[in-house]
Structures are given as structure tokens and as C-alpha cells.
Structure 1
Amino acid sequence: MKGLEKLGIAELNSMQQEAYDAILRTQNDVLILSPTGSGKTLAYLLPLVELIDANNDNVQALVVVPGRELSLQSDRVLRQMGCGVRSQACYGGRTAMEEHKVLKQNRPQIVFGTPGRINDHLEKGNIDANNIKYLVIDEFDKCLEMGFQNEMSKLIATLPALRRRVLLSATEAEQIPRFVEMKKTQRLDYLDDEQEVSERVEVYEVKSPQKDKLDTLSLLLKNIGEQQSVVFLNYRDSVERVDQYLRQQGFVTSAFHGGLDQRQREDALYKFSNGSSTVLVSTDLASRGLDIPNLENVIHYHLPVNEEALIHRVGRTARWQASGRTFFIVGPEEKIMVEGIDAEPFELNAVSVLPKPIMGTIYIGKGKKDKISKGDIAGFLCKVGGLSSQDIGRIDVTDRYAYVAVRREVINSMLKNVSGQKIKGLKTVVEPVR
């Protein structure tokens, strides 16, 4: 209950409660099928932290995920719960040696990671397989879709003490692969109880008079105003083109796709999640595993390639009990071909005012491993940077760096004030995230 309070959650939904009981009160393996946005991360984390032996410093549970963003987000949720269980996210994009050092320092009891990177640590002995009793595969359908069968099969085969398996998916599971070795499986299926697109999501069709939809998108975003929106496209180069166009028009955006390096992707997500950009332009990479609080609008610049892609895209809004909107921008020769979608026409008004976020984001090149806390950063920005507490928004501190939301109109003066200055006696980089 304390963990839920820290997350601002009053009570569990029916899926989470049933998952909690199945994982904690039985010895069964558990398969959870539940729609995007229904809170599956908490569904397995809450009982898992109770199963972990807090007096044992070894890794006792592995959570396998398809990508780095979901590993980081899941790790962040557990840390926010403040339940006393140590964790670490492991993923590609940085050296295994660097992660090994952090593993030795943190002594995590739960590791969130991608299949290849976890296998790497198991092979090198950086993670002791002999104490791992619990295996969670989150978005296992996506793991299979991305071709991780061999990596997951190899991983499971190296866990001699494995007792329990928990699999989670937002889409129907046709068949559980044999290598998972599920035993006495308890299936929790909440997919049939939900509309494919939640009733809390209003669905609109926006007509584009030209095949090139850039002008229509720009006008739609002006009609939406200051609300946050994700614009989905099917190709990386299209994301770059649309993002560049919107920036030239004066919008404050974040671009997100698999071709960006780790720092660029994290910059984009932090800017968007802390409200210092109003538009996230992305491939379907952002349609899974990202929990963006209070996202009001999902825009399909390119129509989704299939029904499953639509479900995951729209699942970014109306999470938990919130409401949201989704817009299909339809060109002259296009039609919404997804069965069951009843879209109302959305008329665009002539609007000239651009939505501008109040906050911007700055990057600070020191973090927890440098003994830097949120309080240290806030004090540094106020005492040295000349800011007031009202100028500072959300502060996110990772192991090696931090992101801070700062009121946009005072960023330049603050940067001048802190140039060449030290935080807790340490020289560091302080720069705006563009």
C-alpha cells in the first residue's frame, strides 16, 4: 500500500488484483493478457517485490523486455515505489563492462533487461544464475515478433533454480513457445472484456486535401493547442522529415525512432514526459512499453499497418481511467480500413497561434553515482543559477546524469550563471536539450 501511495494510486483494478493473488498466493506459472494501458507493470511488480528475499543480495528475478525504453521505465516504476528492493536496467547501447561495474555496486535483486544483454551477463558470470527463482517476460509477443526466440530459449536454459514464470501481453497469445516450459499455467485473460479501442477514447477522422499531409498536421496541432500529442509514422525517415517541418513552423517537438542513439532517444522522451515539448513525432517504437502520463492525443499521420498496431498506438492515451482522443489524418485516396473503427469527422478551424510549452529541459552531466540528488540540483540551480523554486519543474536523476525541466524564459540567464561553476565541488556539463 505504501508503494501504491507513492505512485499516487488509490486501488488496484480487477486485473491487477487477480494477478497479485495468482502470483503471490499460488505456485502456478501465470499468463496475463490485458490491454495496453491497463497497468500490467504494476500487476507483476507488486507481488514480485513481496516474493523477493530482502536479506539476499543476489539477483533473484529477471524481467525480460523487448527494448531498452521498457527496461528503463519498469526500473523507474520500481524505484518510485520505494519498497526497499534493489533493481537495475540492462540493455544495449553501452558496454557490458560498464554495466558489470554498476551491478557489483548496486547488488540488484531484480534485473530488467533485453534478452541479448542478460545472456551476456549470465555467460560472463556478472549475474549468478543459481539464485534466480522468478522469470517475467513482459510483452512476450513483441519479444517473439522481434526474433528473440533463440536468445530467450538460451536464457531460460541457463536458470537451474527457476521456479516461476510470468508472461504478459497486450495481444492474444496464439501459442506459448515450448522453450518457456510453462507448468500448471494460470491464464488471466482480460482482452475479451475490453473494446479494442477503449470507450474512453474519442475517435476522429481529419481529411487532408493533399497527399502530403504536413499542412493538415500543422493545422490540427494548432487546433489541439497546448495538449500533448504523439504523431505516429511508419518510417524513420518520415519521422525526421515531419519533425524538421514542425520545428521550422515553430512547434516544440521531440523525435523518436530506432535509428537514434541512446542519448538522443532519452533526451526526446524526457523532454516530452516533463512537458517541455508538446509533440512527440515517432515510429511505432513509441507504441509499446512507454507510459506517458496524461497524454491527451494520438495522431496517425500514417495509417496503422494493421489492427494490432492501432491497438498499441491508441493505448498510449486514456491510460488507467483517463480519457483521450485519437485522430486519423486521411489523404485523398485513403480510407480507414481497420474493422470496428467508427470515426467522427473533425473540422479544422483557421488558427494561427502556436502552442508553446512553458518549460524547457536542461541536461546535467552528473547523477546518483556522483552522489548528486534532486535536492543538490535544485539548490545549485537556485543559488548559483539564480532561479526560484517556481522556475523548476520535474527533476529526473539517473546514475550518471540528470534532466531538469526549467521555465523556458529563464534558461539562457541560468546557463550564463552556472557556466564554469561546480555542483558539490564537481565540474559538470549543463546544457539545454534541443
Structure 2
Amino acid sequence: MSQFPHSNFSLEKLGISSLNEMQQQMLESSKTNQEIILHAPTGSGKTVAFLLTALGKLNKEQTSVQLLIISPTRELSIQIEDVFKKLSTGFKVNTCYGGHSMRVEENNLSVPPAVLIGTPGRLADHVRRKNIDLSEVHTLVLDEFDKSLQMGFESDMTEIIQELQSLQNKYLVSATKLENIPTFTQIKKPVTIDFLIEKSHRINYFGVQMNGSDKLDLLLELLCNLPEGKTIIFCNHREPVVEITDFLKENGIIAVAYHGGMEQDDRERALIRFRNGSADFLVSTDLAARGLDIPAVEHVIHYQLPLKEAEFIHRSGRTGRQDADGVVFMFLDSGKNVPDFIPEHHHYEVIPNEPLPERPKWKTIYISAGKKDKVNKVDIVGFLHKTGGLRPDEIGLITVMDYSSFVAISSEIAEEVVPELRDKKIKGKKQKIGFAR
């Protein structure tokens, strides 16, 4: 198995058996090039590509920040940190983002990490407060760079990059091709690795004509027409996200909302429930269009068409991954002009009065213990087996966070088992256990 500099890990820790072509090319190119622009679709393994590339540059003797990774969102920053921790490199890593305790971050940064990950706004805030010294950073990764520009972080990124006095390696990563590279990135003669490919051959597009129908009722009927599978319903603003989620719940469909106005904990729980199959429908703004690890999405619905082609592409690209076919539905109003970027599509005739989708096979339970309590997945599986009497096939995806854990358990036994687990001890300490909200 392939080994990498300064580490004793193998690719199994990442859940993969070998690197894909894009990852191999990134590693090979970094041997002779200090400036690389990587274009590849979300879900293709870009995070692994740039982390393994940057890992070879780290020095165990250096006690200051060496690698800086700037990403546009909290979720993406956390996701990058999770992947890095799986590598078990021995290098300290810290992540900074809005919504996280500034005091906790300041304490973490008092001992400089080798790897610092964060959103532009929060990182710039730490720079202004002089909580971090970036003068010895030699490697910079700008992940989902186009998204950072769209979100208005140019001034923050400029301020941060000006602090990088020892910068040598610059990696700009994006799921969209960029016409111009801003001068503040200090990237001058980059090598471009382009793995953006046209994926329309794996995505089937369907138009749903409203023709005066009540849009919410039409959506409900469409969901009743769909085969089993994860579905993301995209809106342009948070208000319809809330409205749709409430409407679906009132009509017996389990759905979770996801938008930028939610508290960070609520957003994380929504993604956990969607990923583990205890909620098959995610209603979201463009926040879920990219930068998140959401595997096996069978259907994407554009409840509201986006204003820009790039967002349409990213939304639609949530399905049709990993050599699987995907289906995209677009709500079209015959009284309005269809944007030029809408691809060729088939008309979808919604059949009324179909039965509601099957209830999810899983329910998510909450446990008030996590990584900081030295609790891991093995501990949780053992607890559920010994104390709750659960079989392996009755335990689904387990997500262990710093101070809490979330576990998918079979819906068939959840109502009976959870009361028996409440206030029981894990590793000698009584924990709060109940259904995740």
C-alpha cells in the first residue's frame, strides 16, 4: 500500500484502496510546480488530493503554522479537518469559523498548529487580534475559491495572504473554471489540472410544468411519484426552505431544512439526519450545492430555478456521482421565459393521488458524549449491543463529534429501545440519550 512522507498511514484510513487519476496527477505535479490550480467536480476527492500534496511539505521540527487552508464555509472547514484527522499524521490541526467559540479558538491557537483551516472572516479576525502568526506559512490552499469570491471574502483573503511572508506553495482549488485569477492570491505562473467533465450523460433532466397548479401541492405529488432515495429540494432563499419543510412535515413527509440562517448545531444535525437516512428529503438554499460530503443523492429538484448557470450546475451536480445515474427535476412556469442555461429535458407528467413515500428506515438518537469524552464508534456500538440489545443490522451510520454523538438505529425498534437507554452509562459515566431533534 502506498505510503506518504512523514506518516505511517495507508489509504485504508481514508476508506479508499487507491488514488484516482486526479489525485495522482496533483501529487506528481507538486514535485516540480509550486503553483497549481485544480479544477475538479465536488465529490471527486479534491480534499484528499490537496491534503496529501501539502502533507509532503510539512516539517515535524517546525513549531509554527506551516499549512493554511482557507475555505468559504464552516461545513467545508470541518469536513477538511475530519479528513486530515483520519490521516493520523501526528501534526496538530485547528479549525476556525464563525459560530464557534472565539475563546476556545484562542486557547487552541496558543500552541500553534502545523495545519490551520478556516473561513476567511474568522481567520482575518484572528489576524487582527494577533492570535495567530502566519509569517512562517509555506503552503496555502484556497479551497472552493470561486465560492469565497462570490460570498464577498476578497478583502478578508487579501488581508490574510498579506501576512504570508514565507509562502512558497500555492494551491487553488475550484469546482468551476475561473476566467481570471485575482492578483491578491500571489499566483503568477500556475500549472492547471483540469478534471471538470461534462456529466450530462449521467443525469436525466425533467421539466415539471406548473400550469397554474399550487406549487406546494405539486411538489408533494412529485415526491409521492419518486422511487426511494435521497432527494435535495433547492430554493433561492431561506423563507421558502422553511415553508416547504413545514408543509412536508404537516403532510406526513420527514424533511429537514438547511440554510445559512440556522444555528450551526442545527445545520450539522440536519446534515447528519440526511446522510444517515433518517430523513430522505433535504430542503436547502444553494448552501448545500457544493462543498459538502453528501453521498448517494438520487434526485435533485429545482423548486426555484437559480439565477445563474454556475449554481444550476452545482445544484444538479449533487446527483449522478460515483458512476451512478441521477435525476434532476425543474419546476417550470409556462408563463415565464426559461433561462438559456436550462438543458434539454423531457416533460414529466406528475401522477396525482399516489401514496406517500415510505417512512425512513432509520431514526437518529443523540448521545451526550463525544471525542473529548474519549468516546468512539466502537464504544457506542458496544454500548448499544450490550445495553440495548441491538443487532449489527439495527445500527446504522454513527457520527462522533467533540461533545456529542448521533447514531442511526432501526425505526422498527427505536421507540422501544430508546427509553431503555436513557441515563445509562458509557465508559462509566451517565449520559443523556434521546431522539435527535
Deviation at 1:322, TM superposition (A): 2.8
- Counterpart check, 1:32 vs 2:28: no
- Counterpart check, 1:18 vs 2:25: yes
Q: Percent identity?
A: 41
Deviation at 1:135, TM superposition (A): 0.6
Q: Which amino acid aligns with 1:176?
A: I
Paired residues, what number? 429
Structure 1 counterpart of 2:328:
326
Report matched runs for 1:15-414 at 5 Å.
15-23=22-30, 25-54=31-60, 56=62, 58-103=64-109, 108-191=113-196, 194-195=197-198, 197-210=199-212, 212-339=214-341, 341-350=343-352, 351-414=354-417
Alpha-carbon displacement from aligned partner over 1:97-136 (angstroms, at most 9, x marks no partner)? 112334568x643222101222333444544424321110
Stretches of structure 1 lacking an aligned partner (at least 5 in a row): none
2:241 and 2:257 in contact (8 A); partners too: yes
- CA separation of 1:8/1:419 partners in 2, compared to 1, >3 Å: closer, same or farther? closer
- CA separation of 1:340/1:13 partners in 2, compared to 1, >3 Å: closer, same or farther? farther
Deviation at 1:385, TM superposition (A): 3.2
2:289 and 2:315 in contact (8 A); partners too: yes
Q: Distance in 2 between matches of 1:342 and 1:238?
A: 27
- CA separation of 1:379/1:60 partners in 2, compared to 1, >3 Å: closer, same or farther? same
Q: Which stretch shows the higher mean deviation, 379-388 or 231-240?
A: 379-388
Q: TM-score, normalization: structure 2?
A: 0.91
Alpha-carbon displacement from aligned partner over 1:24-83 (angstroms, at most 9, x marks no partner)? x12421112233343322221221222223454543211101110111112222233445
Q: Distance in 2 between matches of 1:147 and 1:3?
A: 38
- CA separation of 1:279/1:66 partners in 2, compared to 1, >3 Å: closer, same or farther? same
Q: Distance in 2 between matches of 1:43 and 1:122?
A: 28
Alpha-carbon displacement from aligned partner over 1:179-228 (angstroms, at most 9, x marks no partner)? 1111432122344xx22x53211111122343532122112212213210
Q: Which amino acid aligns with 1:373?
A: N
- CA separation of 1:88/1:295 partners in 2, compared to 1, >3 Å: closer, same or farther? farther
Q: Distance in 2 between matches of 1:48 and 1:421?
A: 43
- CA separation of 1:277/1:313 partners in 2, compared to 1, >3 Å: closer, same or farther? same
Alpha-carbon displacement from aligned partner over 1:122-176 (angstroms, at most 9, x marks no partner)? 4445444243211101111111111111111111111222211111122221221
1:425 maps to which of 406, 418, 428: 428
2:361 and 2:411 in contact (8 A); partners too: yes
2:33 and 2:191 in contact (8 A); partners too: no
Q: Distance in 2 between matches of 1:373 and 1:55?
A: 30
Q: Which amino acid aligns with 1:165?
A: K
2:34 and 2:168 in contact (8 A); partners too: no
1:226 and 1:357 in contact (8 A); partners too: no
SS at match of 1:342: coil
SS at match of 2:81: helix
2:208 and 2:329 in contact (8 A); partners too: yes
- CA separation of 1:28/1:94 partners in 2, compared to 1, >3 Å: closer, same or farther? closer
- CA separation of 1:340/1:327 partners in 2, compared to 1, >3 Å: closer, same or farther? closer
Stretches of structure 2 lacking an aligned partner (at least 5 in a row): 3-8
SS at match of 2:310: helix
Q: Distance in 2 between matches of 1:103 and 1:274?
A: 33
Deviation at 1:269, TM superposition (A): 0.3
Q: Distance in 1 between matches of 2:292 and 2:334?
A: 32
Q: Distance in 2 between matches of 1:16 and 1:338?
A: 34
1:36 and 1:311 in contact (8 A); partners too: no
SS at match of 2:380: helix
Q: Distance in 2 between matches of 1:318 and 1:73?
A: 21
Q: Distance in 2 between matches of 1:4 and 1:171?
A: 27
Q: Which amino acid aligns with 2:283?
A: V
Q: Distance in 1 between matches of 2:342 and 2:288?
A: 23
- Counterpart check, 1:7 vs 2:14: yes
Q: Distance in 1 between matches of 2:421 and 2:63?
A: 40
> Cα RMSD between the aligned structures?
2.2
SS at match of 1:129: coil
Alpha-carbon displacement from aligned partner over 1:265-291 (angstroms, at most 9, x marks no partner)? 001000001111100000111002012
- CA separation of 1:41/1:380 partners in 2, compared to 1, >3 Å: closer, same or farther? same
Alpha-carbon displacement from aligned partner over 1:366-424 (angstroms, at most 9, x marks no partner)? 21111111122222223333433322111111122111111123223332112232322
2:422 and 2:434 in contact (8 A); partners too: no
2:106 and 2:131 in contact (8 A); partners too: yes
Alpha-carbon displacement from aligned partner over 1:237-295 (angstroms, at most 9, x marks no partner)? 10000001111111111110011001110010000011111000001110020121111
Q: Distance in 2 between matches of 1:141 and 1:239?
A: 24
Q: Distance in 1 between matches of 2:346 and 2:74?
A: 37
Q: Which amino acid aligns with 2:401?
A: T
